[in-house]
Amino acid sequence: MRVGDVLQKVASQGCPTVCVTGGEPLAQKACPDLLTALCDAGYSVSLETSGALDVSTVDARVSKIMDLKAPGSGETEKNLWSNLEYLTPRDELKLVLASADDYAWAVELLKQRRLDQYCSVLFSPVQGQLHPGQLVEWILRDRLPVRFQLQLHKVLWGNVAGR
């Protein structure tokens, strides 16, 4: 689908806010151009990205919601740490945690890299692996400067692809 076709489809929805997500949007060569075109068309635009690909080419008007992969994901080697330099106060870092070990890793990372100085930091539990209440208890106990978040798409629709 061409950028112009996407713009027409978005316009037909009548919504002023657009979130570009699904798989890894930045793996699509035209994604930066699409983001810019959406901003130029007057939309409030956000990008959900895994944090594994360079975000330096993303239009500054786009709010980035970027993951940092915890050890329990088996994907920490995919974290592109240089991306932190391109985050602004209106962006968000999302850490999805599967265990107490992931939580300890995230707390250490938060402190060492001062993640909350870049943007809002969100801690989410992996559905079915870490009870949400347990994560909230740890966050409150440690008085962390983070927000708790559930992966609402999984709460609403489960692990169904394409939802």
Whether 137 is in a domain gets the answer: yes
In a domain, 129, yes or no: yes
Task: State whether 46 and 73 are in the same domain.
Answer: no
Domain count across the chain: 2
Pairing of strands 44-49, 63-67: parallel
Give me the percent of the chain exceeding a pLDDT of 90: 88
Phi/psi at 81 (5° precision): -65, -30
CB 79 within 8 A of CB 69: yes
Question: Considering Cα of 161, then 15, then 46, then 147, what sign does the dihedral take?
Answer: negative
- Does the pLDDT at position 3 exceed 70? yes
First to last CA, the chain: 20
The answer as to whether 150 is a domain residue is yes
**Domain annotation covers residue 107:** yes
| 89, 162: one domain | yes
With the CA atoms of 129, 51, 80 and 27 taken in that order, what torsion angle do they form, in degrees rounded to the nearest 10? 120
Residue 122, domain member (yes or no): yes
Alpha helices in 14-159 (DSSP H): 31-40, 100-113, 132-142, 152-157
> Does residue 89 sit in the same domain as residue 14?
no
pLDDT reported for residue 163 = 54
What does pLDDT average to over the chain?
94
**Is 59 among the domain residues?**
no
Q: Read off the pLDDT band of 151 (50, 70, 90).
A: confident
Structure-token pair, residue 94:
């999302």
> What does the alpha-carbon distance between residue 63 and residue 92 come to, in Å, rounded to a whole number?
8
Say if residue 161's pLDDT is above 70.
no
pTM of the model: 0.88
Please indicate, yes or no, if residue 62 is contained in any of the structural domains: no
Asked if pLDDT for residue 154 goes beyond 80, the answer is no
Residue 148: give the domain boundaries.
Answer: 68-163
How far is it, in rounded angstroms, from Cα 46 to Cα 48? 7
Same domain, 151 and 108: yes
Indicate whether 15 and 91 sit together in one domain. no
Residue 156 has a pLDDT of 79
Neighbours of 100 (CB within 10 A): 13
- Cβ atoms of residues 7 and 38 within 8 Å: yes
